[in-house]
Amino acid sequence: MTDPGDALSSLRWLAIERASGHHTGSDRLIAAGLDALLSGVDSPSLPLLAGLGRAEEPDAPDLFAKVLEEFDLVPDLPTDRDQALWAMARWWARLIVAGNLDPLTGADLIWWRVAMELGYPEELQELVKGAINGDDWNQNWDIPLEQIKREIVEAAHAFVAQGSNVVAHSTSG
């Protein structure tokens, strides 16, 4: 079972994903609502979202927005697509650093879902390089796959350490 903090974090993640322009199906919104409710989190609209049936799926985005407001998750959400993409990259990078996301998987997500969309910004180059090396790697390479993973973790750590300066620098020009 998910703990309440993780459940709220999942709701926020879905909001960021939606703000970045990625499709987020009503089924995922409903499932996140149900998971939050089962974790002990509650708000007036959460049981309504969690209880939607297939025929009621079109109501999910509006109820999801109400749930976000009720948990006060709206004020700090990214305000435009690029900010949302940077937030996604930071999210995945933090998960890589924490050991909660495989470095190769995380670097691929950052490469395909963020860096490509943002035109391959300099701040993400080391993570993209790691993703490419991980995809191309085979047993004939002189570099062990574990070293590539370590380099990705280091790149993710450096990216996270840059913090919000990345957004201000990359979207200004």
pLDDT tens, 48-93?
A: 999 999 999 999 999 999 998 898 877 677 778 899 899 889 989 9
Task: Give the number of C-alpha atoms closer than 13 A to the C-alpha of residue 93, restricted to the C-beta side.
Answer: 28
124 pLDDT higher than 50: yes
User: pLDDT for 143-160, tens place per residue?
Assistant: 999 999 999 999 999 999
